[in-house]
Amino acid sequence: MCLTCGNVGCCDSSEGRHAAKHFETTALDQRPGHPVMRSVEPGEAWRWCYVDARTG
């Protein structure tokens, strides 16, 4: 789930990679876009930042 707008998309380990596509689409309109996602799977508590992942 996007922590900027609440959009829910599957993670990069899923075939559709909708969370990554959401980041890329929003980054075209505004920098840095919506880079931080979190899992909404029961029992998971991770977050992911696409900006840090690409520059780190």
pLDDT digits over 8-42, tens only? 999 888 899 999 999 999 998 877 899 999 999 99
**Rounded to an integer, what distance in angstroms lies between the CA atom of residue 41 and that of residue 25?**
23
- HEC string for 13-50: CCCCCHHHHHHHHHHHHCCCCCCEEECCCCCCCCEEEH
pLDDT of res. 13: 86
| Cβ count within 10 A of residue 3 | 14
Q: pLDDT band at 56, cuts 50/70/90?
A: low
Question: Which amino acid is located at 7 in the chain?
Answer: N
pLDDT of res. 36: 96
pLDDT of res. 29: 80
Q: How many domains does the chain have?
A: 1
Q: What is the residue range of 13's domain? A: 1-56
pTM of the predicted model as reported, rounded to 2 decimal places: 0.84
> Which positions ≥6 away from 25 have C-beta within 8 Å?
33
